[in-house]
Amino acid sequence: MCQRFLLLWSFLLLISCSGSGVNPPEEYKPVAVNLEIPTLFSQKLIAPVIPNDNPLTQEGIALGKKLFFDKQLSKNNRQSCASCHDPKKAFTDQQQFSDGVDGTFGTRNSMPLFNLAWNFDNRFTWGGKELGLERQALEPVKNPIEMHSNWTTVANKLQQDSEYPTLFLRAFGTSKIDSASITKAIAQFERTLISGDSKFDQYLLGNAQLTPEELNGFNVFMDEARGDCFHCHGSENNPLWTDNQFHNNGLDATFKDLGLGAVTGDPNDNGKFRSPSLRNLIFTAPYMHDGRFATLEEVINHYSEGLKNSPTVDPLMKKVNQGGVQLSPKDKADLKAFLLTLTDNDFVNNPSFQN
Amino acid sequence: MKLKNLIYLSFCLLFLGCTNDAEINLKPVSITFNFSHFWQSTAVTNADFNTIKFTNENGQQISIERLRYVISDIVLTHKSGQIVSLKEHNLVDVTNNQNLSFTTSKSIFPGEYTRVTFRFGFSNQDNVDGAYADLNTANFNVPSMLGGGYHYMQFDGKYLDVNSMEAPFNYHAIRAVDRADPNNPTFLDTSLVVDLGAVNVESNTQINVKMNLYEWFSNPNRWNLNLLNTVLMPNFSAQVQMSQNGANVFSLVNVTP
């Protein structure tokens, strides 16, 4: 007891001395942030995943945003994450394949970024290669067909910057910048990208009306005898509009891109890709992992009569031997009208997400 | 300060010393259910999925690609006659090898129970649309046009059709709904109460249950996949037949320790 008292006393003494310039490092405590979860999400879904070792803070999120838009993360300072993930386009680009800093094109369509904290299996990208958002963010920087830099160079560049060292100090308690803290900050920003305010959400909350066409389209989506989309793409009870699972939805008879199979090495996973969310489709064309469909009409025609059989095709593609679910022209048009009610204009215009 | 602690500690020790074993045992415990899966006498895990390797009662060859189902509503009848009902559910996901073992989060007092039951699926009362966040997140819902609520089971795979071509089946069990009059649908609770008989509940009781997948296709309704393969959710009579076949699907392996 007495000893502790002495210790405390000497500590107080030290503190009172510190005004004079022999400062111990000042401990800045970043301000904790709770995600603003849309009403329907908190009503219907389990809580989002925030890793224990990377809690959200105001300083971390702001730093992550700055990094997300910073071209210094690329080899020649010409590309940022936002070059392929544009907030105005629900964080995708409207190209089939994105060109990296060297002008080389990838083989996958850039993915929209929202509601990522609700991907509970934590498997990211079309084929599920990246486990966790922090891990995912490591990849584009060094990928030769993306930003084609390396982490030592990037960390050095940022270390020399006039602003970054202070920002890292405030967010993570150290001004030493490395790939771990950079990707932590980016992941924090990414987790704040939440889209949950479309016309359909407002309809569910009783604040908007759907047209008869949109309502019929929703029924096509939910009807096992017609579209039967809900088994993979969510429903009014799963406002993510995806199951975040991997399926082969009948795009090809043979695979150029093995998808999940390339990650697991299991041939039963060949041709399986993660179901994307159907929110914000108006901004995210072209569609599918390889951007093969330019329009939603083409997507709907695919499910209606364009299915290709293969050993791993999902049994939920139940009419695969007849080419698809054979929707009437009216049901197709209405299905599209319904899909567009999942457009969230506030998300793409949210000032917190713009550069 | 220190003295107080000491007094407190010795009190605790005194008390502990006095309790006899019976009293210690009266601490409420949770119970664990372990689910295993069989095709008749052959064990089935997700490693057996995706290959046509099972033959059903109707002589049709099938593969399994997805299997998940809900169990709920665990009810224990104590020998004193008292009934304990645990309003909990668990999604057994064989495809991803998840939740095959389920420990109740609610606890019960150890002792002799003359009857333990659980339910395959949900009773009408518990089958509340959108009510369970874990199942919404797992995308296990039933469309509201079919009365909403949840699937009892999704059992998907492929069978060899009359041309020996692989064709999909979606054996999805839900509460049966008759929509002959779409404005006045009628519902039939087709969930199943599985009776495990008497169980002696102790501190680490494991109830091992098996599902014989073969039964879904055999008894009393020999299932013809050429006729009943997909779009079975809106099919009232198919749902009733599934429920009838479900009667002998589950059985108790044993109770340990």
Give me the residue from A46, A236, A314 closest to B137, CB to CB.
Answer: A46
Q: How many CB atoms lie within 10 A of CB B153?
A: 21
**Are residues A177 and A31 both part of a single domain?**
yes
**Which tokens is B211 given?**
């599902």
d(CA B244, CA B58): 17
**A194, A224, A251 - which closes a domain:** A194
Distance from CA of A242 to the nearest CA of B (A): 8
The average pLDDT across A253-276 equals 98
Residue ending a domain, among A139, A161, A194, is A194
pLDDT digits (tens, 9 = 90+) for A296-326: 999 999 999 999 999 999 999 999 999 999 9
Domains in chain A: how many in total? 2
Q: State residue A23's pLDDT score.
A: 52
d(CA A297, CA A285): 11
Does residue A195 surpass a pLDDT of 60?
Answer: yes
Question: Quick check: is B12 in a domain?
Answer: no
Give a yes or no: residue B211 inside a domain: yes
If you average pLDDT over residues A234-251, what whole number do you get?
98
Which residue did the predictor score with more confidence, B200 or A20?
B200
- Of A194, A221, A256, the last residue of a domain is A194
Residue A276 sits in the same domain as residue A187: no
Q: State which residue of chain B sits closest to A269, comparing Cα positions.
A: B50
Distance CA B237, CA B199 (A): 35
Q: Is residue A7 included in any domain, yes or no?
A: no
The residue segments making up the domain with residue A285 are 199-347
Q: Name the nearest CA neighbour of B242 among B65, B121, B75.
A: B121
Please, are residues A57 and A30 in contact by the beta-carbon 8 Å criterion? Answer: yes
- Do A175 and A219 share a domain, yes or no? no
Please name the residue that has the structure tokens 């599934």.
B242
Confidence at residue B5, expressed as pLDDT on a 0 to 100 scale: 55
Mean pLDDT by 10 residues, chain B (257 residues): 49 42 68 98 98 97 98 97 96 98 96 97 98 98 97 98 96 97 93 97 95 98 98 98 98 94
Selected residue with higher pLDDT from B135 and A20: B135
| Among A139-143, A175-179, B170-174, the least confident range | A139-143
- Does the structure show a pLDDT above 50 at A3? yes
In this structure, is residue B245 part of a structural domain?
yes
A10 lies in a domain? no
Residue-level pLDDT at B16: 44
For range A265-289, the mean pLDDT: 98
Asked if the structure places residue A119 within a domain, the reply is yes
Q: What is the mean pLDDT of residues A208-212?
A: 98
- Write out the two tokens for A326: 């054979």
User: Per the CB < 8 Å rule, is B137 touching A225?
Assistant: no
Per-residue model confidence (pLDDT) at position B25: 55
Indicate the angle between helix axes A58-68 and A179-191, nearest 10 degrees.
100
pLDDT at residue A6 above 70? Answer: no
Place of tokens 């100090």: A169
- Claim to verify: residue A68 and residue A137 sit in the same structural domain: yes
Beta carbons within 8 Å of A224's beta carbon, 6+ residues apart:
B143, B146, B230, B231, B233, B234
pLDDT of residue A187: 98
Amino acid at residue number B84 = V
Whether A44 and A190 share a structural domain: yes
Interface contact A44-B133, CB threshold 8 A: yes
CB A127 within 8 Å of CB A263: yes
> Would the pTM count as exceeding 0.80?
yes
**Residue A219 contacts B where some CB pair is shorter than 8 Å:** yes
**Is A289 found in the same domain as A153?**
no
> Residue B65: which domain range?
27-256
The pLDDT of residue B94: 98
CATH number at residue A106: 1.10.760.10
Higher-pLDDT residue of B149, A148: B149
Sign of the dihedral defined by the CA atoms of residues B134, B139, B140, B142, in that order: positive
Instruction: Locate B70 and state its tokens.
Output: 């809900």
- pLDDT score at A268: 97
What total number of domains does chain B contain?
1
Assigned domain for A355 exists: no
B130: nearest CA partner in chain A:
A237
Of the pLDDT bands very low, low, confident and very high (cuts 50, 70, 90), residue A84 is very high
Residue B17 domain flag: no
Domain identity same for A257 and A150: no
Judgement on whether residues A67 and A171 belong to the same structural domain of the protein: yes
Report yes or no on A170 lying in a domain: yes
Q: What are φ and ψ of residue B146, in 5° steps?
A: -105, 15
DSSP3 helix / strand / coil % (chain A, rounded to 5): 45, 5, 50
Pairing of strands B206-212, B32-39: parallel
Q: Are A40 and A187 contained in the same domain?
A: yes
The span from the CA of A26 to the CA of A207, in Å, is 50
Closest CA to A270 of A257, A289, A286: A257
| Same domain flag for A216 and A265 | yes
Which chain B residues are within 8 Å of A238, Cβ to Cβ? 136-137, 139, 141
* Predicted pLDDT at A94: 87
What single-letter amino acid sits at A44?
K
Interface A:B, Cβ pairs < 8 A: 83
Range in A22-31, A346-355, B92-101 the model is least confident about: A22-31
Please, which residues have CB within 8 angstroms of residue B9's CB and are 6 or more apart in sequence? none
